Each structure stands twice: as C-alpha cells, then as structure tokens.
Amino acid sequence: MHAARTGHSGFSESTEEIKPLTEEEKKEQLAKIQERLKQKQAERLEKEKKDNIEKEKMRRKQGKELSSIKEQMEMDEMKRQAELKKREKLEEKKAKERVREQIARDKAERAAKFAKTNTATAPPPSAPAPAATSSKPADVQKKEYTQTKLQVKQNHIFRWLNKSICVSTISLLLCFVSRYF
C-alpha cells in the first residue's frame, strides 16, 4: 500500500528488535506526556483568557460605538423634527398672510362696490335741513323690537339662552321663565 502510494520499491526489513519498556521508563514517559498535556492545557487556558479579554474589549468598543451611533441618530431625528416644525410654522405664517391679503382685497372690493352703489342710488345732495328749534322733534319714530334675547344665569353660571319673540310685559316674561325653569 505504501509502495503504491509513494512509488517506493525495494524495501528491506529491519532486523533490529525494539525492546519492551521497563516499568520505570513507562512511568517516566507517562510523566513527560502528562507534563506536556498540562503545559498545553495551561497554554490553551492562557490563550482562551486572552481571547476572552479581547472579545470583552471588542464588545465594549462595539457597545460604545453603537450607543454613540444611536445618540447621533436621535440628535439627527431631533434636528429633523425641529426643522419640520420650523417649516410648518413658516408655511402656517405664509398661509395666514395670504388669508389676510385676501381679506384685505375682499374688503377693498366691497368698499369699492359699496361706494359705487352708494353714488348710483344716493339722491343729489340738497340744501341742508334747518335745525329743529323745538326741544322735541315731531317726527321721531319709536323703534319697534320684534325679538328679544333672554339669558338666564344662576350663581354666575350660564344656564340658558333663547332668542324668541318679544314679550310685551314683565308679567308675561315671568310667566315664560316660570314655565321653562
């Protein structure tokens, strides 16, 4: 098998016989092997300890990096939110300004329209009316009220508000209030 794999040929047999180990030699070799095993195990433990220390350092470093990245992302998000809020306030301010301008234009249009209709329907100014010499003017008209606003409060708390037909006397008003309260 060895000859087929390696291509060697012409083997010679060894005539030398290996003598068996004595008890002392066996113990000595066993002690050497155990010593080598202990040494390799100590080296392996030392290497594992160093590796664990390195892994812990890397873990801490990554944790710090991760927390700094997270903090940076939060700061960026806060800046974005502040910018968005600022932009919204500016847009709101512009919208209010547009509404004010529209109101001013509408007001000007109404004033112009009112002035136009006033000049068209107003009679030409005549001579000023003479001042009344008597203490009571004769054609003073009494204003006729058709609605009344009734508001009832108890202990400074608003209770009820009603706009209805005008009540001619206090007794009718008391009757109305007693019916609903």
pLDDT digits (tens, 9 = 90+) for 39-50: 999 999 999 999
Helix (H) or strand (E) holding 25: helix 23-121
pLDDT at 156: 64
pLDDT at 60: 96
For residue 167, count other CB atoms closer than 10 A to its CB. 15
Cα separation, 24 vs 129, in Å, equals 153
Give the 3-state DSSP-derived string for 112-131, with helices as H, strands as E and coil as C. Answer: HHHHHHHHHHCCCCCCCCCC
Inter-residue contact 164 to 147 (CB < 8 Å): yes
What pairs with residue 153 in β-bridges? Answer: 158
For residue 63, count other CB atoms closer than 10 A to its CB. 10
pLDDT at 1: 66
What is the pTM for the complete model shown? 0.36
Q: Which residues of the chain have pLDDT under 70?
A: 1, 11, 14, 120-140, 145-146, 148-168, 180-181
Inter-residue contact 151 to 137 (CB < 8 Å): no
Inter-residue contact 167 to 173 (CB < 8 Å): yes
Cα separation, 61 vs 80, in Å, equals 28
pLDDT at 127: 47
Inter-residue contact 148 to 165 (CB < 8 Å): yes
Inter-residue contact 123 to 140 (CB < 8 Å): no
